[in-house]
Amino acid sequence: MDSSRLVLFFCRLGPAGRSPWAPGTCGTFEALVLAPFLFLPLGLAGRLFLLAVLFVAGSLAATRAEELLQRKDPGEVVIDELVGAWIAILPFAFSWTLMLCAFVLFRFFDILKPWPVKASENWLPAGWGVMVDDVVGGVMAMICLCLLKATGVFAFSWL
């Protein structure tokens, strides 16, 4: 596989970004399915390190994908959904309730893009901007999940 195809495979999270229906939703779903195996088993330091590596790698790859696909923020680039969804669940242990709530909340922020999510798209250039709005959306979803936990609406466990 040549480097261009490898970059696109990474940015698309394999098949998720190629979905003809809602690739961002498919990317978020894939991210949360993978999380119990690749993300949640790590301690907090490991999770933060992995997110930092994925943010940098995703930003560089998304920049290259924009060049290859000749479009700004192509919908098939969904590595940003993985980073955002994993940020949303950062301080928590696995539960199906958590995964469902994280999915709904992250998609809410990613689709509707309330302030500051929409504004953050312009904070950084190229693929960095593609990634940063999902980071902000993930942080907002995580705050909502923390509030749901604190109020006892849902019983999530901490890391």
Q: Give domain limits for the chain.
A: 3-150
What is the predicted pLDDT for the residue at 159? 85
The Cα angle at residue 88 between residues 86 and 91, in degrees rounded to 5: 90
**What are the respective helix, strand and coil percentages of the chain, to the nearest 5?**
70, 0, 30
3-state secondary structure of 62: helix
Task: Please report, in tens digits, the pLDDT of each residue of the chain (159 residues total).
Answer: 699 999 999 999 999 999 999 999 999 999 999 999 999 999 999 999 999 999 999 999 999 999 999 999 999 999 999 999 999 999 999 999 999 999 999 999 999 999 999 999 899 999 999 999 999 999 999 999 999 999 998 888 998
What is the predicted pLDDT for the residue at 155? 85
The letter for the amino acid at 81 is E
Cβ count near 14 (within 10 Å)? 11
What is the predicted pLDDT for the residue at 157? 92
